[in-house]
């Protein structure tokens, strides 16, 4: 399939497949992060006043004909409903009643043969204490509550799918509240075939669609044995829902601060308005052959940070971080551009449950459609489809190297069609603005593991003198803070903990510590940090604007240094409005000492040089301590003018067997025994001219025969002076009769 056809299918009127509840179970569904509680009079059978918005039954035969046409494309998303553009305002539509202590608004929506409903609020602004629910007329299930904590900066809110031919929008707030809500519904999606019967349809059409939900039958569920090594990375991948459409996939992605900022990577060509998107996590079958998965973990909306066609990249910051209970991973990445040995894709083809595909060969760098891409010639196992776009491509080290741009890969019956795919290259995206967000500490690294599972705890500060010393760290990352101070922030929440956030920034405005929003009411939270000397700002925020207090429940906070000195604290009563700002400074402890690293008594902790430095000269050297206790070490112990490091011990007497002409320090000398040389060889006498071992008459005669010789003399030259003279005769006679 070409990129153009894929893009067409991804943006055509084909709605998302979302798994619904089993019938008959009166339970809460969480389509977004809800705030708990139940609708008004949920556990009673009392009638309630409802104005119903009626829609005509859809022409199921016509829709079936259209669906039969799209079913020819095994990679087309499965349509379940039709969108209606509406304008329902709580001020002009629905009914308001007083029920007990509450003002309650309700608006019903129904249609004959409808199987489900979902909605988009273009305006969602409610006061503190207000709660929105959506429940089906059979009172089997509900969504919510949604409160001011669900408000987005852009003002909208997407409400997920709820089964039933009729559903009710219900809002309530305590009577007497001065503020009124703004609730405007701009879109309603009318379902016309139920996902509860999806498995039956698949069984009937096994030869057409295959056994695995909506996507082609050659796709592989991520929880099949093939996906065993990818159970961490799979949790980073999410399905993107744009209104009523399964548009793309994407992935949570880590940053060098390892702080869980909810950055989300997808493709530029997927973009519409990320503010209106819903991001579904963990939508996967728990088995290898299953075709349905949970849709209870989703986040509504996000802000677009980077969009560039040069690598078909889009980076979004979600409106909130996935709760820890979802076990979402922030995937690692490789921006080096190194060619991977192989590649793995994890994605939601055609809005289906999560799938996985494998390329055993190395992708190669190429370009298409104005983008720099990694090119996959064909997948060995699995494929991608529309809805997979934007999904991450991982290398052999389980790090993201790209996001899906397009291609022609698809199932051909139950097997791979052998066609290509291509992914925008992450190393190109890095230079298109992504690095600004994913390397906030300016580390310069081009390779990062995931968080929290892939975070390398062996890297950190290895200096025991630093206040941020990490005893388990094996590799120093340059983060050590010398002469720093440990500060402690203690926060007691009020009864609306989700509205409280705070941060501490340095003089440049960079955040060095932050926290919130919180879950526990009237709960104490403690955070500590090692900060370098300097000036900082503590900012405490309340999203509702009434500080840390409501209806007599008051929170508190204090910031102290390691000596217990209070650096900042909450005003009395806690009503600081939307924001409280406290400036404080941490002075560097004055440590006097030698601050010159070349001195023997250098003190690395010294902040004030007191002119006490001492230095080594000549043969002397420093002891090596850097805490101020170092000293000069004598390097010429014998004061002979030769440094100890240059001294050579040895025999200094010429004629000795072990004489060393280079010796500077005297050592024992060794001599040869009488009659032997240094090698132990026997010595002969010079007077024994004939060499028979005895000085005798024949030796005298030989000497006399050569008497008077003055050059080139024979062995008769006993004294070795070059001539045979009377001296030689006297020496021979003195030794006459001796044995040599």
Per-position DSSP letters for 634-688, written without gaps between them: -S-TT-SSS-GGG--EEB--TTSTTB-TT-SEE-----PPTTB-TTSPBPPPSS-
Q: Count Cβ atoms below 10 Å from residue 205 Cβ, excluding itself.
A: 11
In the chain, % of residues over pLDDT 90: 53
Is residue 397 pLDDT above 90, yes or no?
yes
Per the residue annotation, which of 34, 145, 249, 269 is the catalytic one?
269
pLDDT of residue 244: 56
pLDDT of residue 301: 87
Per-residue pLDDT tens for 319-342? 889 988 899 999 999 999 999 999
Q: What is the rounded average pLDDT of the residues 70-78?
A: 47
Q: Is 125 exposed, middle or buried (0-12, 13-18, 19+ CB in 10 A)?
A: middle
pLDDT of residue 406: 92
Per-residue pLDDT tens for 696-722? 999 899 989 989 998 888 788 888 888
For the chain, residues classed under CATH 2.60.40 are: 485-586
Is residue 25 pLDDT above 60, yes or no?
no
Query: Among residues 234, 266, 232, 264, which one has the least CA distance to residue 249?
Result: 266
354 Cβ contact partners less than 8 Å away, ≥ 6 residues apart: 221, 222, 234, 237, 239, 283, 284, 285, 293, 346, 347, 348
Per-residue pLDDT tens for 493-525? 999 998 899 999 998 888 888 888 887 889 999
- Tell me the two tokens of residue 324: 């820890």
CB 378 within 8 A of CB 419: yes
Which helix (H) or strand (E) segment is 424 a member of? Answer: strand 421-425
pLDDT of residue 28: 46
Helices 726-734 and 697-705, packing angle to 10 deg: 170
Query: Among residues 603, 620, 622, which one has the least CA distance to residue 611?
Result: 603
Which helix (H) or strand (E) segment is 729 a member of? Answer: helix 726-734
Largest CA distance in the chain: 156
For the chain, residues classed under CATH 2.40.10.10 are: 220-448
The CA distance from 499 to 502, in Å, is 10
pLDDT of residue 570: 96
Helix, coil or strand: residue 19? coil
> Rounded to the nearest 5°, which phi and psi values hold at 490?
-115, 125
Q: What is the rounded average pLDDT of the residues 373-391?
A: 93
Architecture of domain 52-201 in this structure? Sandwich (2.60)
How big, in percent rounded to 5, are the helix, strand and coil portions of the chain? 15, 35, 55
Q: Count Cβ atoms below 10 Å from residue 548 Cβ, excluding itself.
A: 27
Is residue 655 pLDDT above 90, yes or no?
no
Measuring CA to CA, how many Å separate 633 from each of 95, 356, 596, 640, 642? Answer: 93, 67, 18, 16, 15
pLDDT of residue 462: 86
Is residue 20 pLDDT above 50, yes or no?
no
- Higher per-residue confidence, 205 vs 526: 526
In the chain, % of residues over pLDDT 70: 89
Per-residue pLDDT tens for 289-319? 887 788 778 888 899 999 999 999 999 999 8
The CA distance from 677 to 683, in Å, is 7
pLDDT of residue 78: 56
The CA distance from 206 to 204, in Å, is 6
Which helix (H) or strand (E) segment is 734 a member of? Answer: helix 726-734
Q: Mean pLDDT for the chain?
A: 85
pLDDT of residue 14: 31
**What is the four-CA torsion angle of 54, 57, 62, 64, rounded to 10 degrees?**
110
CB 36 within 8 A of CB 145: yes
pLDDT of residue 31: 44
- Residues facing 295 on adjacent strands: none
Per the residue annotation, which of 312, 439, 494, 699 is the catalytic one?
312
Query: Any idea what DSSP says for residue 704?
Result: H
Active site residue 325: no
CA 516 to chain centre: 20
Cis bond leading into 215, ω under 30°? no
Query: Any idea what DSSP says for residue 397?
Result: T
Query: Among residues 244, 300, 267, 271, which one has the least CA distance to residue 391?
Result: 267
Is residue 33 pLDDT above 80, yes or no?
no
Query: Among residues 366, 376, 447, 443, which one has the least CA distance to residue 408?
Result: 376
Per-residue pLDDT tens for 608-629? 899 999 999 999 999 999 889 9
CATH node for 220-448: 2.40.10.10
pLDDT of residue 36: 58
The CA distance from 543 to 158, in Å, is 20
pLDDT of residue 7: 35
For the chain, residues classed under CATH 2.60.120 are: 52-201
The CA distance from 504 to 583, in Å, is 9
Query: Among residues 322, 371, 409, 329, which one has the least CA distance to residue 75?
Result: 409
- Tell me the two tokens of residue 547: 């500080």
Q: Count Cβ atoms below 10 Å from residue 4 Cβ, excluding itself.
A: 10
Per-residue pLDDT tens for 171-193? 999 998 888 999 999 999 898 86
3-state SS of 307-372 is: EECCCCEEEEEECCCCCHHHCCCEECEECCCCCCCCEEEEECHHHCCCEEEEECCCCEEEEECCEE
Query: Among residues 261, 224, 245, 457, which one has the least CA distance to residue 358?
Result: 224
pLDDT of residue 404: 96
pLDDT of residue 193: 67
Is residue 201 pLDDT above 70, yes or no?
no
Q: What is the rounded average pLDDT of the residues 451-475?
A: 80
Q: What is the rounded average pLDDT of the residues 665-677?
A: 83
Which helix (H) or strand (E) segment is 727 a member of? Answer: helix 726-734
**Pairing between strand 579-586 and 566-569?**
unpaired
pLDDT of residue 668: 94
Confidence of residue 479 (pLDDT cuts 50, 70, 90): confident
Choose the weakest-confidence range: 120-129, 313-322, 669-678, 707-716.
Answer: 669-678
Is residue 41 pLDDT above 90, yes or no?
no
Confidence of residue 30 (pLDDT cuts 50, 70, 90): very low
Is residue 208 pLDDT above 60, yes or no?
no
Q: Does domain 485-586 have CATH number 1.10.720?
A: no
Per-residue pLDDT tens for 345-361? 999 988 889 999 999 99
Confidence of residue 161 (pLDDT cuts 50, 70, 90): confident
- Higher per-residue confidence, 21 vs 692: 692
- Residues facing 416 on adjacent strands: 411
Is residue 388 pLDDT above 50, yes or no?
yes
- Higher per-residue confidence, 677 vs 122: 122
Per-residue pLDDT tens for 218-258? 999 999 989 989 999 999 999 998 765 677 999 999 999 99
The CA distance from 688 to 698, in Å, is 9
Q: What is the rounded average pLDDT of the residues 645-674?
A: 90
Measuring CA to CA, how many Å separate 231 from each of 235, 298, 329, 356? Answer: 7, 19, 10, 11
3-state SS of 173-229 is: EECCCCCCCEEEEEEEEEECCCHHHHHHHHHHCHHHHCCCCCCCCCCEECCCHHHHH
The CA distance from 402 to 267, in Å, is 9
Question: What is the residue whose two structure tokens read 């230095």?
Answer: 615
Helix, coil or strand: residue 67? helix
Is residue 261 pLDDT above 70, yes or no?
yes
295 Cβ contact partners less than 8 Å away, ≥ 6 residues apart: 18, 19, 31, 160, 161, 280, 283
HSE (side-chain half, CA atoms, 13 Å) at 416: 18
- Tell me the two tokens of residue 15: 């709605």
CB 3 within 8 A of CB 419: no
Is residue 11 pLDDT above 70, yes or no?
no
Choose the weakest-confidence range: 23-32, 71-80, 247-256, 482-491.
Answer: 23-32
Active site residue 269: yes
Per the residue annotation, which of 215, 296, 319, 389 is the catalytic one?
389
Q: What is the rounded average pLDDT of the residues 546-561?
A: 94
Q: What is the rounded average pLDDT of the residues 377-396?
A: 94
């Amino acid at each position: 399939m070409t990129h153009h056809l894929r893009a067409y299918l991804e943006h055509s009127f084909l709605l998302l497949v979302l798994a619904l509840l089993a019938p008959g179970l009166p339970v809460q569904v969480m389509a977004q992060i809800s705030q708990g509680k139940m609708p008004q009079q949920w556990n009673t059978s009392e009638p309630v006043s409802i104005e119903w918005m009626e829609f005509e039954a859809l022409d199921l035969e016509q829709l079936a004909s259209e669906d039969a046409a799209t079913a020819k494309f095994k990679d087309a998303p499965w349509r379940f409903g039709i969108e209606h553009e509406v304008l329902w305002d709580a001020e002009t539509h629905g009914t308001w009643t007083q029920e007990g202590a509450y003002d309650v608004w309700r608006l019903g929506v129904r249609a004959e043969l409808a199987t489900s409903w979902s909605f988009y609020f273009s305006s969602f602004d409610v006061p503190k204490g207000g709660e929105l629910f959506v429940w089906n007329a059979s009172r089997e299930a509900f969504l919510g509550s949604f409160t001011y904590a669900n408000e987005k900066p852009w003002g909208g809110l997407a409400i997920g799918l709820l089964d039933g031919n009729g559903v009710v929008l219900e809002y309530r707030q305590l009577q007497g509240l001065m503020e009124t809500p703004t609730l405007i519904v701009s879109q309603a999606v009318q379902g016309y075939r139920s996902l509860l019967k999806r498995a039956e349809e698949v069984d009937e059409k096994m030869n057409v669609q295959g056994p695995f939900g909506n996507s082609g039958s050659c796709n592989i569920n991520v929880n099949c044995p093939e996906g065993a090594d990818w159970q961490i990375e799979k949790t980073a991948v999410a399905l993107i829902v744009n209104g009523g459409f399964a548009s793309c996939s994407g992935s949570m992605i880590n940053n060098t601060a390892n702080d869980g900022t909810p950055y989300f990577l997808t493709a530029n060509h997927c973009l519409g308005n990320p503010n209106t998107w819903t991001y579904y996590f963990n939508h996967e079958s728990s088995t290898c052959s299953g075709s349905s998965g949970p849709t209870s973990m989703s986040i509504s909306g996000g802000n677009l940070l980077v969009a560039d066609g040069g690598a078909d990249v889009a980076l979004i910051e979600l409106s909130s971080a996935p709760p820890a209970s979802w076990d979402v991973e922030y995937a690692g990445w490789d921006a080096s551009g190194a060619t991977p040995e192989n590649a793995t894709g994890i994605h939601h083809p055609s809005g289906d449950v999560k799938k996985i595909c494998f390329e055993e060969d190395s992708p190669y760098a190429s370009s298409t459609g104005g983008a720099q891409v990694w090119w996959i010639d064909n997948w060995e196992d699995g494929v991608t489809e529309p809805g997979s776009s934007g999904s991450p491509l991982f290398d052999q080290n389980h790090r993201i190297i790209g996001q899906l741009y397009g291609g022609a890969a698809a199932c051909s019956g139950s097997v791979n069609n052998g066609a290509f795919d291509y992914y925008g290259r992450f190393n190109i995206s890095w230079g298109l603005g992504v690095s600004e967000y994913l390397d906030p500490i300016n580390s310069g690294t081009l390779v990062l593991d995931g968080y929290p599972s892939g975070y390398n705890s062996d890297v950190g500060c290895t200096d025991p003198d630093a206040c941020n010393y990490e005893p388990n760290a094996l590799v120093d990352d340059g983060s050590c803070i010398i002469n720093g101070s440990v500060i402690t922030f203690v926060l007691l929440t009020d009864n609306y903990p989700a509205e409280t956030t705070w941060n501490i920034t340095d003089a440049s405005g960079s955040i060095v510590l932050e926290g919130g929003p919180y879950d526990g009411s009237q709960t104490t939270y403690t955070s500590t940090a090692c900060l370098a000397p300097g000036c900082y700002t503590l900012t405490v925020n309340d999203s509702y604007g009434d500080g840390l207090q409501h209806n007599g429940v008051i929170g508190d906070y204090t910031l102290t240094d390691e000596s217990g000195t209070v650096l900042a604290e909450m005003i009395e009563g806690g009503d600081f409005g939307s924001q409280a700002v406290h400036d404080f400074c941490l002075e560097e402890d004055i440590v006097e000492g030698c601050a010159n690293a070349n001195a023997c008594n250098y003190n690395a902790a010294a902040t004030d040089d007191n002119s006490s430095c001492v230095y080594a000269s000549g043969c002397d050297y420093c002891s090596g301590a850097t805490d101020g206790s170092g000293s000069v070490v004598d390097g010429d112990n014998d004061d002979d003018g030769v440094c100890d490091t240059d001294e050579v011990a040895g025999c200094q007497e010429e004629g000795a067997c072990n004489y060393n002409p280079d010796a500077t320090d005297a050592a024992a000398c060794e001599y040869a025994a009488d009659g032997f040389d240094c090698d132990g060889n026997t010595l002969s006498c010079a007077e024994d001219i004939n060499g028979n071992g005895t000085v005798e008459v024949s030796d005298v005669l030989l000497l006399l025969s050569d008497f008077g010789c003055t050059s080139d003399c024979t062995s008769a030259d006993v004294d070795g002076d070059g001539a045979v003279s009377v001296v030689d005769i006297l020496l021979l006679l003195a030794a006459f009769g001796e044995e040599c």
